[in-house]
Amino acid sequence: MIRNLPARLLFAAGFLGGSQLPKYLDGYRQYLAGRLQQARADLGLFQAIADRFHGGDLEALIRRHLESSDPAFRAEGEAIRTLADQVARLTEAMNGLQGNLPDQIVTLLRNGEPDAMAASWTLFQPGLVFTPEALLCAVVAGVVLALPALGLGRLFRRRSRRAAPT
């Protein structure tokens, strides 16, 4: 039992850590949803102006601001552009988090918003989650951490058998 202790400890650590991933993803998704809701509300004010004066074309409103000779008006155009880009980026991120667990993990790793990830981590409260996704993550993480320790243990045992005097 002791000879496999490192592998067992690594499996336990991986199991506990891996079980937290779906919970963290849920918190991250909620955080992004809140940011997206606020960004949409903010952009909605400019969309209403675009509806009123540009036939609903937000791009026309942005161009009008950016083409102005007034630096303050151009700066507003840049702010509206940034807000529109933020809504598009957050919408894409939220869409990527609607799939299955492996797709969500890939989305987080490839396109995760660093600020949102850090804020979600700050707000994260670990807990035992017994959903199928959490258990699957737990087992996979446990195996991934334990396998190298098992392999190293077997390698050392083989070498020590070879080196032992006969």
Q: What digits encode the pLDDT tens for the residues 56-104?
A: 999 999 999 999 999 999 999 999 999 999 999 999 999 989 988 889 9
Does some domain include residue 4?
A: no
Q: How far apart are CA 9 and CA 11, in angstroms?
A: 5
pLDDT for position 151: 75
Q: How far apart are CA 138 and CA 90, in angstroms?
A: 28
Domain that holds residue 110: 14-153
Position 141 pLDDT exceeds 80 = yes
Does some domain include residue 117?
A: yes
Does some domain include residue 164?
A: no
Residue located via tokens 């702010």: 79
pLDDT band, very low/low/confident/very high, at 159 (cuts 50, 70, 90): low
Eight-class DSSP state of 99: S
Does some domain include residue 35?
A: yes
Q: What is the pTM of this model?
A: 0.75
Does some domain include residue 93?
A: yes
Can you list the alpha helix ranges (DSSP code H) found in 54-70?
58-66
- Which structure tokens are listed for 66? 């950016």
Does some domain include residue 5?
A: no
Residue located via tokens 């499996």: 11
Q: How far apart are the first and last CA of the chain?
A: 26
Q: What digits encode the pLDDT tens for the residues 112-134?
A: 889 999 999 999 999 887 888 88
145: CB partners within 8 A, 6+ apart: 10, 11, 13, 14
Q: How far apart are CA 138 and CA 133, in angstroms?
A: 8
Phi-psi region of 42 (alpha: psi -120 to 50; beta: other; left: phi over 0): alpha
Does some domain include residue 1?
A: no
Does some domain include residue 160?
A: no
Q: What average pLDDT is seen over the chain?
A: 89
| Total tally of structural domains belonging to the chain | 1
